[in-house]
Structure 1
Amino acid sequence: MENNKILLVDGMALLFRGFFATAFRGNFMKTSEGIPTNGIYQFLRYFLDAVDTYEPSHVICCWDMGSKTFRNEIYPPYKGNREAPPEELVPQFDLIKEVVEAFNIPNIGLENYEADDCIGTLARMYQDNHEVIILTGDQDMLQLVDQNINVSIMRKGQGNYELFTIDNFFEKKGIHPHQIVDMKALMGDSADNYPGVKGIGEKTAIRLMKEHHSIEGLLANMEQLTKGIRTKLETDLEMLHLSRKLAEIKCDVPVYCELETARKRFERTKIEPKLESLEFKNLDRMFAETVK
């Protein structure tokens, strides 16, 4: 069987990142009809650079579908601290999917689940026979690192990636990928608005994972813990278990993508009219090597 290299793109992460990277200067880029396009333009720059860097044979783009998911059902405040997206970004949500489609790339998303869940499910689906690279800015995805599943975290600036693999993960993080969920359950996540165990931060969470390997290991050895840590765990035991459910990316959601539909085949004749309709200039420079 052909060994493919599949790039799974976290569409939301790239679009938001692209939007804010350009919007802070008040540079919204608008079409002559007044439609803002800055997020889309920057998304493309990130995306084409990653394609150039990793040279995938297949590309799939995953999206959130609406702001509420099953996580809100089990914990209503989940992500409740997030402000509504800026009005200049809103029209770009649908437009970016049309642009992605013009590149012959499948857009995948599922009501009630996050893009992360779709990415996790597809990564697991493909990992036995192919190499998978997840492109994101979201550290939560690190829990997916596995045999044949690498996570490329976008760092500041363009073309700056940190690639996490099964071979370098422990050296970089001090724990294993499967321990990330338990670590997050202990320390909580202020960006996603769940508290974990009050009073336990990242350093303590990592130390507890190193010493006890998992939440089960931790709870089985309560008598070995300091009184302070034991009290914190006992006080927030219910929230600890709930936080673990919130932190874990679901890798068994009902999404599917026929690999052949994701084979990288960028056709200038299809892409250019779409980008011209958004009045993008400098396309030749942007495409350089990526689109022949």
Structure 2
Amino acid sequence: MALLFRAYFATAVTGQFMINSKGIPTNAIYGFIKHFFTAIEQFNPTHVAVCWDMGSTTFRTEMYPSYKANRSEAPVELLPQFELVKEVVESFHVPNIGVVGFEADDCIGTIAKKMRGKVQVTILTGDQDILQLLDEHISVALLKKGYGNYLVHTPETFFAEKGIQPVQMIDLKALMGDPSDNYPGVKGIGEKTALRLLQEHTNVDGIVANIAKLTKSQRLKIEADIDMLHLSRLLAEIKCDVPVDCLLEESIFEINPDVAIKKFNELEFKHFHRYVKKNQEITIQ
């Protein structure tokens, strides 16, 4: 979903909606497909799955109605592209995965953790929230500006950058809050202070247990927002026990060029034919 929105706004800002002869905008789908195949060429995966959000109402909005309430409605030109892009993914013989009441990140986390001991997992996203999932068998390829520009994170690179372990990112967001998801954390606690507190006390529970050792300013801020601190941690944590599965045999990446090209022709895309034919050659080898 992050890639689809990114692809949409990259061209929508200049009014380039790529409306086809049926009157359907396709700019987000086009950009998503380009992101998809660029990543395939870069990482050469054996198995692929795509996870989607399934609406704005989730268990997080039940806990905190203001969660993501600052986000505007999806642009009208994007609405028809939500289902069409899933049809494109299906034409690649790639599973579309989503569970009502949960976010795509929760599905990703659940599937990635279930793959422990079976395969190495690379998560491609533009959303840094997913970094909390990093471990010895999960890496994260953060999409930077443009196509094919990735910052690949492992637990080691994350620690080198932040000075904390990936799982502590949940507590980092609990302290700092997240303006994009519209929850405040502890007012007045920024990233530097939050990182220092986590380096000293490990997590939110450790900070609260040692609150007498904090500076007066830190103590007063945390005590004033203690309930929001604990709620923010619940909102920040990706659930890894969602009722969803993705079997390896169902996610083997083998595109049938005829099926994919038929879908491209329906959408009036011609540029991508070479990608699926090239992929067939790689798969056969």
Superposition TM-score, scaled by structure 2 size: 0.96
Residue 77 (structure 2) aligns with: 88
Of residues 102, 124, 131, the one that matches 1:135 is 124
What is the distance in 2 between the residues matched to 1:263 and 1:29? Answer: 31
Name the CA distance, whole Å, in 2 between partners of 1:174 and 1:277.
49
Matches within 5 A, 1:58-73: 58-73=47-62
How far the C-alpha of 1:291 sits from its partner, in A, is: 4.6
Q: Kindly indicate whether the alpha-carbon contact (under 8 Å) linking 1:77 and 1:193 is maintained by their aligned counterparts in 2.
A: yes
| 1:252 correspondence with 2:241 | yes
* 2:205 paired residue among 201, 216, 224: 216
Runs of 4+ in structure 1 displaced over 6 angstroms?
none
- In the other structure, the counterpart of 1:6 is none
Which residue pairs with 1:3 in the alignment? none
Please report the RMSD computed on the Cα atoms of aligned residues, expressed in angstroms.
1.1
| Structure 1 CA distance for aligned equivalents of residues 132 and 272 of structure 2 | 36
Deviations 1:235-288 (CA, angstroms, capped at 9, x unpaired): 100000000000000000100112101000011111000011000122245557
Check conservation: 1:45, 1:286, Cα contact below 8 A.
no
Matches within 5 A, 1:21-170: 21-170=10-159
2:174 alignment partner, SS class:
helix
Match of 1:261 in 2: 250
Question: CA–CA distance in 2 between the matches of 1:50 and 1:238?
Answer: 41
The one-letter amino acid of 2:125's match is T
State which drifts further: 209-218 or 86-95: 209-218
How far apart, CA to CA, are the structure 2 residues paired with 1:88 and 1:131?
Answer: 37
**Alpha carbons 1:52, 1:289 under 8 Å: kept:** no
Describe the superposition over 1:187-243 as per-residue Cα deviations: whole angstroms up to 9, x where unpaired: 000000001001111221112111211111111211221100000010100000000
TM-score by length of 1: 0.94
Q: What percent of counterpart residues are identical?
A: 56
Query: Secondary structure of the residue that 1:96 maps to in structure 2?
Result: helix
Local SS of the residue matching 2:11: helix
Q: Deviations over 1:128-184 (max 9, x none)?
A: 221000000000000000110001100011100001112322112221101000000
Name the residue aligned to 1:9. Answer: none
Question: Could you tell which deviates more after superposition, 248-257 or 217-226?
Answer: 217-226
Q: 1:128 to 1:252 in 2, by over 3 A?
A: same
Give, in angstroms, the shift of residue 33 of structure 1.
Answer: 1.2
Consecutive unaligned residues of structure 1, counting only runs of 5 or more, are 1-11
Bigger shift: 75-84 or 216-225?
216-225
C-alpha distance in 2 between matches for 1:233 and 1:185:
11
Match of 1:237 in 2: 226
* Distance (Å, rounded) in 2 between the aligned partners of 1:272 and 1:149: 32
Segments of structure 2 that go 5 or more residues without pairing to the other structure are none
C-alpha separation between the residues in 1 aligned to 2:204 and 2:254?
45
120-129 vs 208-217, greater mean Cα deviation: 208-217
Quote the residue 1:283 is aligned against.
272
Question: Which SS does the other structure have where 2:68 is aligned?
Answer: coil
Q: How many residue pairs end up in the alignment?
A: 281
